Chain A
Amino acid sequence: MDKLDKEMQQWLAGQTSDSQQRAEEEARYLALYNALAEKPEIKIPARFAENVLKKLEAQENPRWVMQMWGKMAALFIITVASGILLALLGFRLMEGFDFSLKPYVMPTIFALILLFIIEYADFYWLKSKQMFRR
């Protein structure tokens, strides 16, 4: 309140000597002061502290960078392999279906399932490192 009194006196110094106008000025100043003193409600995101600590841990621990590169390399190899297999399958299908396709079908399905599992696991792993927003 001392802060308010001192500042209000400073503010009112030099203002009009008209008592009504002066009272209005005073009320307006108080109104502003009261409104300024009121903190607007700010919602802090849930688990904010935990998320900061996780991010900090991830940044301080370079091992996860190596893990990421390893996973990226594995993903690249599997993506290329399944792409080649799918292309081969496609070309053979264009020539018409026959039983000679059989050797390509199972490896392609395996590669795609493997790709899906790795992508899925990778997403959760990166999410746990706070690499994605919620």
Chain B
Amino acid sequence: MTSEEELVKKVMAGDSRASKQLIVDYQALVFHMIARVIKNKEDAEDVAQEVFIKIFHYLPSFKFQSKLSTWIASIAYRMALNYLDKKRLLISDKELDQVAVAQLEKADTSLIKAETKEYVQELIDQLPAQYRLVLMLYHMEEFDYQEIQEITGMPEGTVKNYLFRARKLLKEKISPNTKNTLLYG
């Protein structure tokens, strides 16, 4: 039995220490996903709490057909997009590129010289949520295409396409002046 299975079994048996351990183990993943999409700190915390409440609620139906982290990320992904949908901030797939180009123009260029890495983060934050989340899952959380497909429910081709388009948009915004600081800074 893996440590994940053991942990889940203990949580379902009502072990409060195990429940706390599950939250502590996965809170960084959930917060990274939620905070990428929801900028208001209090709302982000509320949504993150709701994510864990859903996790505990649906844990008995988790059959270990995927990694626990993939399953948890899929709940966080759906709740983050639901939040945007409720706030009418979710951009339709057809408009993603158009909105991304317009939003990237708004990025704070004063950061270019000061903190280049921050500038790239600022650029990422300007991307539509769907691009942002796929980029984050692939590069920062290091999920593979198959896992991102499970998390987002998008076909693998769409995941690859989103990654390609998002990186292309970002790369075009990185000027040759910024690259050295990023590489060696």
Footprint of B on A, CB under 8 Å? 24, 27-40, 42, 44-45, 48-53, 55-56, 59, 133
Interface size on B, residues (CB 8 A): 36
B138: nearest residue on chain A (CB-CB)?
A36
Q: A56 to B55: give the CA distance in the assembly, Å.
A: 11
* 14 further interface pairs, Cβ-Cβ under 8 Å (given A48-B49, A55-B53): A27-B179, A31-B174, A31-B178, A34-B182, A36-B120, A36-B135, A36-B140, A38-B140, A42-B32, A44-B27, A49-B24, A53-B16, A53-B20, A133-B46
Q: Do A32 and B28 form a contact, CB below 8 Å, given A27-B183, A48-B48, A49-B23?
A: no
Q: How far is the CB of A36 from chain B (nearest CB, A)?
A: 4
Q: A51 to B27: give the CA distance in the assembly, Å.
A: 12
> Would you call A56 and B53 a contact (CB within 8 A)?
yes
Interface residues of B in 116-138 (CB under 8 A from A): 116-117, 120-121, 124, 135
- Residues of the A chain whose Cβ atoms lie less than 8 Å from the Cβ of B124: 36
Q: A63 to B139: give the CA distance in the assembly, Å.
A: 45
Q: Does more than half of chain B's interface fall in helix, strand or loop, or is it mixed?
A: helix
Interface residues of B in 142-185 (CB under 8 A from A): 167, 170-171, 174, 176, 178-180, 182-183
> Would you call B183 and A31 a contact (CB within 8 A)?
yes
- Residues of the A chain whose Cβ atoms lie less than 8 Å from the Cβ of B52: 52, 56
- Residues of the B chain whose Cβ atoms lie less than 8 Å from the Cβ of A133: 42, 46
Q: A56 to B20: give the CA distance in the assembly, Å.
A: 12
> Would you call B171 and A28 a contact (CB within 8 A)?
yes
> Would you call A44 and B121 a contact (CB within 8 A)?
no
User: Is B31 part of the binding interface, using a Cβ–Cβ cutoff of 8 Å?
Assistant: yes
User: Is B35 part of the binding interface, using a Cβ–Cβ cutoff of 8 Å?
Assistant: yes
User: Is B71 part of the binding interface, using a Cβ–Cβ cutoff of 8 Å?
Assistant: no
Q: A56 to B73: give the CA distance in the assembly, Å.
A: 20
> Would you call A35 and B35 a contact (CB within 8 A)?
no
Q: A104 to B49: give the CA distance in the assembly, Å.
A: 49
Q: A56 to B180: give the CA distance in the assembly, Å.
A: 49
Q: A44 to B25: give the CA distance in the assembly, Å.
A: 12
